Every structure is written in C-alpha cells, then in structure tokens.
Amino acid sequence: MAVVYTLLVLFLAVFVAGFILLVMGAINFDFSNSEIPPGVNQPVKLRIIHIILISRAVVGKILENIGICSQVSFVRYIQGRKTLGVDPKLFIKDLWFEKVPVRIYQPKVPSASQRRGVMFFHGGGWVFGSLETHEKLCRSIARESESVVVSVGYRLAPEHKYPAAYEDCLNATIHFMKNIERYGVDPANVIVCGDSAGGNLAAAVSQTLAGGSDLPKLRAQILIYPGLQAVDFNLPSYQQNHRVPLLFRERAAFYVLQYLNGNATNLEEVLEGSHIPIDMKLNYRKWVSPDNIPKKFKVRGYKPHVLLDCTTEVYETVKRLCEPNLCPLLAEDAVIQQLPESFILTCEYDVLRDDGLLYKKRLEDNGVRVTWYHLEDGFHGIIGLYDYCGFTFPAGKRGLDSIVNFLKSL
C-alpha cells in the first residue's frame, strides 16, 4: 500500500511539474512574441494582465488536449466567475427580451424626467465576453451617467455563426424600443454602445435602424475601439501594433473568421489580403485606404501593401465579409448619411485604431456629427481594465469619463 501511495504521489508530482513547464513554456513563447511600445500606459501592469490571460488560455488548451473540456469553454467559465454583489445605487435585474438574455441597470435615485437608455453590446471577439465580463463597466456607465443600461447577452461564435450576434443585438434593441415605457426611458434618447466586437455590433444595429420608420430614431451611437472591416489587415495600425497586447493582428483576423464561419480556415489569405478580388478591393479603397488616415498616424512606421488577387474558392468561403452587417465600414453613403450623432474612441496602440479613424472620416464626410476621443497612451481593451484585479489604468478611466460626459451631453 505504501508503495502504491508513493508511486501515486510521484505521478502527481511529475504531472504537476510537467503541467507547469508546459504553461511556462507557452507563456514564454507568447511573451517573447509580444511587444509593449514605450508610449503604452502602465506597461508593467499590462504585461502582468497579458500573462494572466495567456496562462488562462494555455491551461484551457491543455485541458482540451486531454479531453476534459474545450479551451473556449474553460476561458468562458473563468470569465463568468466574477460576482460583484448588490449595488447600493442601482436596481439590477436579469430579463429576457424575446429569446435574448439581458441585464438591465436602473439608477435608484429618483428622476424628474425620463432617462436616457443605453443598449450595451460587450466585446470579446464575438467568441468571448458575457453579461458578467462587462458588469463593472455597465454599472459604472449607469451610475455615473444616470442612464438605464441594458447589457445584451448575445449568442457567441463559433457555436453561433454570423449573423447570430447581430440579430440578437438588433432584436433586443427593437424589443426595448417597443416596450420603452416600462423602463422610464425617453423614446427619443436611446443610444447603442459597444466595445471592440460590441462596437461592431452597435454600428451594424445603428445602420439597420437608421432607415426604419416604425421606431423612433436612435439618439446616438458610441463605438469603443470598434472593429469595422475585414478587407485590409495591413493598415498602418495593424502593422504598427501587430504584437501589442491585448489584441494581436492575427487574433483579430482569427476572431472575425470564427464569427463568420465558425473556424479559422483561410486565415493566412485574410491576413495577406488575398481573400477578396482586386476589383472589389479597388472599389472599397474609397472607404478603406491608408490614404484616408492622417499622416501623423503613420509616423511610427508604415509600408504600403501590395494588392493581391484571390481564388474563386477562397472568396466564396469568405465573401460575406463584404456585408455591412458584418463590416459596417462598407455601408453605402445613403446609409451613412442617416446615422445618428456618434462618439468614437480609439487607442494609439491598438490594431483596430484605423478602423475607427476611417469610420470617423466616413461619418464626417456624410454630415454626421462625430465626437472623437483618442487615448494616446491607450491599448485595446483598456476601457474594461480601468480597475482590473486591483490594477488601475488611468487612461482607461479617462476614456470612461469621456463616454459618460458624452452621454450627459445628449
């Protein structure tokens, strides 16, 4: 019995040691392949958070390889374990809008008039994120702007491919607007808001509702470092920030393909730009082009990318990337002209920076009022990290304050 016990202990020790070595090896690989520029806000804190996120992903991959659970399921499980408890200033309730789960945040302080309403769509690459991951952010927006905030728990990829997330966000917004009197919200003061992939969804929902006549017009859209196109992954911001946490260039393309097709097939073609025919790319250059980006955003380095053609087979697989409901930057001018007042937040050290800059130009060129806030020391995901695991990011708080101030101005 003692021999069996000893062997069991040795086996567990070897297993744990091997597990730790695997994790550390993967972390070291990712660590050596990442880059934090000197201008990034709080670089040491960002590095620590990046290591935490890498560790989570690596453990998930190991569990997947030994058949316990998928990596995606493990990461989602860990993300969903955050609990904040009762908020003394908010009524918080989980509801269903049709078949879509939502969490509604209503200020307890009495209001002499109807409040503004904010439909919030979380980020996470359409693959991750939930009502829980953005709970703290939604509470802050509701408290500080004294708005009713509705966070939408839309379906995630790869299980639910495009257009599932878009349809859930659209349907939840329509349901809210049709039943708005229940929540004490002014029908003329409804805003759609989202970060990253959620910013993509907010832009798509805003475009869809812009042409409708049976519902009140949206008051505004708030797009926080949104991903708005999948035509060109070689824009200046993609080249400059391709290895900057928390979103690498390759992962940005990976996530959009997961949303589109439920897999990352044709990732290399998308990254190099050989996924869309040249004639179509030339047509889109009036909207998606480095020429439309101010020169000051190219000083950190930019090399013009050679246009590559694609095969019919590849294009057939990814052609829905050209649909505005997935890539709002590709919407026609007739749609853009009808959009509501807009707020766009971008970060200097973010691969998605130029998506925001290009959309800002399109909106302004079409007569839409735009408030733009740029975090010179910011990185992708910073708004949700202004208070993460005890770490504070002043730039994230500045960004959140700018969003709240914009809401208060409406």
C-alpha to C-alpha distance for 199 and 386, rounded to whole angstroms: 18
> 231 and 281 in contact (C-beta within 8 Å)?
yes
> 187 and 180 in contact (C-beta within 8 Å)?
yes
- Residue whose token pair is 């349907």: 171
Residue 2 has pLDDT above 70, yes or no: no
Active site residue 409: no
pTM of the model: 0.93
C-alpha distance from residue 19 to each of 8, 14, 25, 67, 294 (Å): 16, 8, 10, 15, 48
First-to-final CA distance of the chain: 74
Residue 6 has pLDDT above 90, yes or no: no
Label residue 400 exposed, middle or buried (CB < 10 Å: 0-12, 13-18, 19+): buried
> 165 and 92 in contact (C-beta within 8 Å)?
no
Residue 346's SS3 state is: strand
Residue 375 has pLDDT above 50, yes or no: yes
Rg (CA), the chain: 22
Q: Would you place residue 231 in the very low, low, confident or very high pLDDT band (cuts 50, 70, 90)?
A: very high
Residue 252 has pLDDT above 90, yes or no: yes
C-alpha closest to that of 169 among 86, 111, 100, 238: 100
The 8-class DSSP code of residue 305 comes to P
Backbone angles phi, psi at 340, to 5 degrees: -80, 175
Residue 5 has pLDDT above 70, yes or no: no
> 296 and 290 in contact (C-beta within 8 Å)?
no
H-state helical runs in 66-159: 71-79, 135-145
C-alpha to C-alpha distance for 100 and 237, rounded to whole angstroms: 35
The per-residue DSSP string of 163-215 comes to THHHHHHHHHHHHHHHTGGGGTEEEEEEEEEEETHHHHHHHHHHHHHHT-SSS
> 176 and 97 in contact (C-beta within 8 Å)?
yes
Report cis status (omega within 30 of 0) of the bond before 352. Answer: no
Instruction: Give the whole-number percent of the chain exceeding pLDDT 70.
Output: 92
Residue 221 has pLDDT above 80, yes or no: yes
Mean pLDDT of the chain: 92
Active site residue 350: yes
- What is the per-residue pLDDT across 262-297, written as a single tens digit (0 to 9) for each? 999 999 999 999 999 999 999 999 999 999 999 999
One of 195, 350, 355, 377 is an active-site residue; which one? 350
Cα angle 68, 197, 259 (rounded to 5 degrees) comes to: 55
> 384 and 134 in contact (C-beta within 8 Å)?
yes
Q: Would you place residue 99 in the very low, low, confident or very high pLDDT band (cuts 50, 70, 90)?
A: very high
- What is the per-residue pLDDT across 153-198, written as a single tens digit (0 to 9) for each? 999 999 999 999 999 999 999 999 999 999 999 999 999 999 999 9
What pLDDT does residue 32 have? 63
Active site residue 380: yes
Residue 11 has pLDDT above 70, yes or no: no
Q: Which residues contact 242 (CB under 8 A, 6 or more apart)?
A: 248, 249, 250, 351
> 150 and 79 in contact (C-beta within 8 Å)?
no
One of 140, 196, 237, 274 is an active-site residue; which one? 196
> 221 and 343 in contact (C-beta within 8 Å)?
yes
Which helix (H) or strand (E) segment holds residue 106: the answer is strand 100-107
